[in-house]
Amino acid sequence: MTVKDLAERLEVKPKDVLKKLIERRVMMTINTTLDPETATTIAREFGADVKMRTFEEEMVVIEAEEAKPDDLIVRAPVVTVMGHVDHGKTTLLDAIRETKVAEGEAGGITQHIGAYSVQVNGRKIVFLDTPGHEAFTLMRARGAQVTDVVILVVAADDGVMPQTQEAIDHAQAASVPIIVAINKIDKADANLDRVKKELAERGLTPEDWGGSTVTVPVSAKKRDNLDGLLEMVLLVTELEEQKANPKRAATGTVLEAKVDRGRGPVATILVQDGTLHVGDNFIAGVVVGRVRALLDDRLQKTNEVGPSSPVEVLGLTGLPQPGDAFQAVADAAKARQIAVLRQNQAKEKALGGRGQRLTLESLQQQLSEGEAKELPIIIKADVQGSAEVLADSLGKLGDERVKTRIIHTGVGAISEWDVLLASTSNAIIIGFNVRPDRNATSVAEREGVDLRLHSVIYDVIDELKKALAGLLDPTTKEVKLGAAEIRQTFKVPKFGTAAGCMVTEGVITRAGNVQARIVRDGVVVHEGRIGSLRRFKDDVNEVRSGLECGLAFERFADLKLGDVVESFTVEKVAATV
């Protein structure tokens, strides 16, 4: 933050903050950016404490504050169509677009952006015109949750094919509801029951068979029962009730970006919440810009778009990546600052490798607090038998504290699909007697996915056992840092009561993760954090043994003469299986 920002937050004049900086021999102007340490020190001198928050966290907090129940509206659902090659995905998308969009247009659509919306019974549905599930998964891998429903197209004469299975795995990994459109019902060899049986075998039991998967028979070619399919989409999403607040600044996701001759960099974005206006400053990933023009899904110019709207944006300074978060911001300078910060983070990430990606070595660091631990696994083997044996053996590993989850098994070389699925689900890939193809290797390197190749089943099981030992919750151990005796108490405005103490052993500190407790006659009466620590009139971070200090606790004022204050930290020690 700048000196001016800090002054505003502290509710003091900028010149007072500059005066404090000059006292520390630091020369700045009101627009200079402060580093976190300086900001914290200056804030403490004004009696305030500093809490660090990234811009993304700040946005979440602002959103939470802004959203009044009255402002929320039900937004249109966003649909992605997936399925096996030649099962009629494109024909279905074109059929829906032509019957619904071209009704009100002369000559139909000659060009369109990568998404479009249709009206059904007065309600809007947005279709993402993505090329199959690689785009969907790449966006998921970048953390963008764009789709509300997946329509899985299965041909009635062909049934469930390998790519259909992949699409199911990808949709399930993303926890998105699936509606099955059984296409080509007009064909002579169409067999609905066989398709339903194959779906049921893969965990998608149709509703008319007592399951919960919505299946709709359609014919994209003959334009048969398309309305039935669209009504089902509305029905499934009504239960979820997706809401958005059109009164706040727009946020969304970049669907695609390209350089257009004459128009410069153009991004197709999906506004997911808020309203985007011409003239808004925005940040998309590491790219900043100002909205010069907005074109809706019919390529008509518009001045503003609300939630669940696909739109082309002109006015970018560069090309963002598909899947990048898009945010409208009030302050152009702040947007530039954030973009520089994100560029530096991206550089660090590229130099240091994808730190967040799960690998067998990083399991210990990636302990998620208090959640059930699990290791997602994708298995590829040379023959079906080996794949089944591995899935069975690895699925049984672990106990109630830590477990494995097999998200996909298959036969043949490790493909780009497998790596993308692993990237989305943060899984590791185990190859048994198979190798990755060339594309898969480069994608795995780019996405930081852990590939483990083996030819002996026992080695696989051994390696995973060791890794799971690392996934176990570490046990905690307390480390005492110091103790002080309360010799005097006095009233202070901010904390209620403060205490004058003599540090009798070690060190009393209020740094980072250090906690403190008050012990009275051998009984702990309070545990928490020291809110203020002073030596004479100066704020300090620590006081050593043999020295006097004044201290006050956060949200606790019942301090008595003779109480002992202990400062300590809690450390984690690795567990073993």
Of the candidates 34, 15, 33, 13, the residue with the CA atom closest to the CA atom of residue 23: 15
Residues 6+ apart with CB under 8 A from 400: none
Give ranges for CATH 3.40.50.300 in the chain: 76-241
Q: For 103-117, 166-180, 475-489, which range has the lowest pLDDT when averaged over its residues? A: 103-117
Local confidence band at 219 (pLDDT 50, 70, 90 cut-offs)? confident
Give ranges for CATH 2.40.30.10 in the chain: 251-352, 475-573
For the structural domain made of 475-573, what CATH number should be given? 2.40.30.10
Predicted pLDDT of residue 4: 85
Give ranges for CATH 3.40.50.10050 in the chain: 361-471
Predicted pLDDT of residue 263: 84
How, if at all, do strands 564-573 and 214-217 pair? unpaired
Task: Map tokens 């014919």 to a residue.
Answer: 219
Tens-digit pLDDT profile for residues 236-279 = 888 777 888 888 888 888 887 887 778 888 888 888 888 899 98
Which whole-number Å values give the CA distances from 482 to 85, 294, 357, 502, 527, in the listed order?
68, 62, 38, 11, 15
Predicted pLDDT of residue 502: 95
The answer to whether 248 and 67 have CB atoms below 8 angstroms apart is yes
By three-state DSSP, how is residue 167 classified? helix
Indicate the fold that domain 251-352 takes in CATH: Elongation Factor Tu (Ef-tu); domain 3 (2.40.30)
The token pair that represents 66 in the structure block: 């802004």
Q: For 80-84, 244-248, 397-401, 520-524, which range has the lowest pLDDT when averaged over its residues? A: 397-401
The answer to whether 253 and 269 have CB atoms below 8 angstroms apart is yes
Tell me what the pLDDT averaged over the chain comes to. 79
Provide the whole-model pTM.
0.56
For the structural domain made of 361-471, what CATH number should be given? 3.40.50.10050
Predicted pLDDT of residue 140: 59
Predicted pLDDT of residue 227: 84
CA 503/CA 532 separation, integer angstroms = 15
The token pair that represents 346 in the structure block: 């991206």
The answer to whether 376 and 427 have CB atoms below 8 angstroms apart is yes
Q: For 155-164, 216-225, 409-418, 463-472, which range has the lowest pLDDT when averaged over its residues? A: 463-472
For the structural domain made of 76-241, what CATH number should be given? 3.40.50.300
CA 455/CA 500 separation, integer angstroms = 68
Tens-digit pLDDT profile for residues 376-396 = 889 888 777 778 788 888 877
What percent of the chain lies above the pLDDT cut of 90? Answer: 9
Local confidence band at 31 (pLDDT 50, 70, 90 cut-offs)? confident
Local confidence band at 471 (pLDDT 50, 70, 90 cut-offs)? low
Over range 198-226, report the average pLDDT.
84
Q: Cβ–Cβ contacts within 10 Å for residue 497, how many?
A: 15
Is the pLDDT reported for residue 368 higher than 50? Answer: no
The answer to whether 368 and 473 have CB atoms below 8 angstroms apart is no
